[in-house]
Amino acid sequence: MAEYNIVVLPGDGIGAEVTESAVNVLKAAAKQHGFSINLESHDIGGTSYDSHGTPATDETLNACKSADAVFLGAVGGPKWDHLTGAHRPESGLLGLRKAMGVYANLRPVTIYPGLEKYSPLKENRLEGVDVLVVRELTGGLYFGQPKGESKDENGKRRAVDTMAYDEDEIRRIAHRGFDMARKRRGKIASVDKANVLSSSRLWRDVVNEVAEEYSDVELEHILVDNCAMQLINRPADFDVILTENMFGDILSDEAAMLSGSIGLLPSASLGDGNGLYEPVHGSAPDIAGKNIANPLAAIQSIAMMLRYTLNEAEAADAIEKAIEEVICQGYRCADLADKDDTVLGTTEMTSKVIEVMSKAKTVAS
Ligand code: IPM
Ligand code: MG
């Protein structure tokens, strides 16, 4: 029987609740699909800062590097907002992504049948929407040097961040984007700000070079400001959106709203080794501890882990089908609910998904 070592990092805010959901679904999938998992939990983010004085200890980073896959809930919250630099919860997450070398962040936006009405967009704009944001994750504005705040001789404060890329960093993420596009609808929109930024002009040149190896993929270059507009105006025209770290951070939150809620957006972060899986929604401190967070993004992230890192495609399909079924039956979490819907809490929604998975498995066998 295949056996996988999974590191679990619940983190802050609703991270702990959605991680519990994700782990329960993973355990159910293991039982149903005949593989076993060893789970090891570690601190990350503000929770780690409180216990260890740092948002990611070496122990956590080493455990993640040697795991088969890592699941992370969320980091950050008002409790740690006064912290700066390397002490910030978010620094722990960025350090983890860098340490794991997961440069390719995949964020698929799915419009579930039945959820169209929850999107702020008119339903006719959503027809055919199926977008995958491929975000560069270990370079660009988040990591470039110099970075930080300083004071001049008169005490005037100044701060700098640097958007830097070398051609290898662009080439490897471009390959990921084109490879994904090839398996989808064969279209890629490379997003940059080449009318202003040097790093974007290099990005565009390298993407054009990579495109020569993919004559079957249709490439469009689009400026980031225009892309933000077109995602609302003509979302169904996008297939793969390939972009720099910060642009991808912003555009993926925007794209999430096509589906109606960021509580539905999962992610996979891949490099040349193991993978890191996280829901995109963040720690949502305002709703933490209330059992109302939507666990579906976390659960979909588990499906992505099964598909991309553990090669358990059947289990991944089963989870995705169960989510669709549960939504189709009218169950919703509070982030997406109308008066006719049955509103479930985090744990109840998770149990529903597991229940549908086991029913489907019983029928199939
Ligand atoms: C995300 C988040 C993170 C990011 C934060 C928490 C550092 O917004 O994964 O989108 O900016 O990458
Ligand atoms: Mg973000």
> Which pLDDT belongs to residue 364?
79
Whether pLDDT at 328 is above 90: yes
Q: Which helix (H) or strand (E) holds 285?
A: none
> Which is the catalytic residue, given 50, 130, 253, 317?
253
Mean pLDDT of 38-51: 98
Q: Is the CB of 169 under 6 A from ligand 1?
A: no
> Which pLDDT belongs to residue 213?
98
CATH of domain 120-259: 3.40.718.10
Mean pLDDT of 65-80: 98
User: Token digits for 60?
Assistant: 């956590």
**Which residue is listed with tokens 């972009």?**
243
> Which is the catalytic residue, given 4, 118, 193, 352?
193
pLDDT digits (tens, 9 = 90+) for 233-291: 999 999 999 999 999 999 999 999 999 999 999 999 999 999 999 999 999 999 999 99
How far, in Å, is the centroid of ligand 2 from the Cα of 266? 12
> What is the CATH topology of the domain spanning 1-103+266-365?
Isopropylmalate Dehydrogenase (3.40.718)
Nearest CA to ligand 1 atom 6: 90
Nearest CA to ligand 1 atom 8: 249
Average pLDDT, the chain: 97
Burial of 96 (C-beta count, 10 Å sphere; 0-12/13-18/19+): buried
Q: Is the CB of 249 under 6 A from ligand 1?
A: yes
Kindly identify the ligand whose nearest atom is closest to the C-alpha of 250: 2
**Amino acid symbol at 112:** Y
Exposure string (b/e) for 248-284, b if CB count within 10 Å is 16 or more?
A: bbebbbbbbbbbbbbbbbbbbbbbeebbbbbbbbbbb
How far, in Å, is the centroid of ligand 2 from the Cα of 348? 27
| Residues, CB within 5 angstroms of ligand 2 (ion) | 249
> Which pLDDT belongs to residue 232?
97
| 255 SS3 class | helix
Going by the DSSP 8-state scheme, the letter that residue 341 receives in this structure is: S
User: What share of the chain has pLDDT > 90, as a percent?
Assistant: 96
Kindly identify the ligand whose nearest atom is closest to the C-alpha of 107: 1
Q: Is the CB of 280 under 6 A from ligand 1?
A: yes
The preferred substitution site among 93, 134, 252 for testing ligand 1, maximizing ligand atoms within 8 Å of CB, is 93
Nearest CA to ligand 1 atom 12: 249
> Which pLDDT belongs to residue 337?
85
Boundaries of CATH 3.40.718.10 in the chain? 1-103+266-365, 120-259
Whether pLDDT at 365 is above 80: no
Looking at ligand 1, which atom is closest to the CA of residue 90?
A: 7
Confidence of residue 47 (pLDDT cuts 50, 70, 90): very high
142 is an active site residue: yes
8 Å CB contact between 196 and 234:
no
Nearest CA to ligand 1 atom 9: 280
Nearest CA to ligand 1 atom 4: 249
166 is an active site residue: no
Looking at ligand 1, which atom is closest to the CA of residue 246?
A: 11
> Which is the catalytic residue, given 239, 249, 331, 352?
249
How far, in Å, is the centroid of ligand 1 from the Cα of 75? 9
Give the chain's count of helices (H) and strands (E). 12, 14
Kindly identify the ligand whose nearest atom is closest to the C-alpha of 75: 1
| Dihedral of the alpha carbons of 228, 229, 232, 238, in degrees to the nearest 10 | -70
Whether pLDDT at 362 is above 90: no
pLDDT digits (tens, 9 = 90+) for 92-142: 999 999 999 999 999 999 999 989 999 999 999 999 999 999 999 999 999
Exposure string (b/e) for 190-203, b if CB count within 10 Å is 16 or more?
A: bbbbbeeeebbebb
Strand partners, 109: 131
Write down the pTM of the prediction: 0.97
8 Å CB contact between 217 and 211:
yes
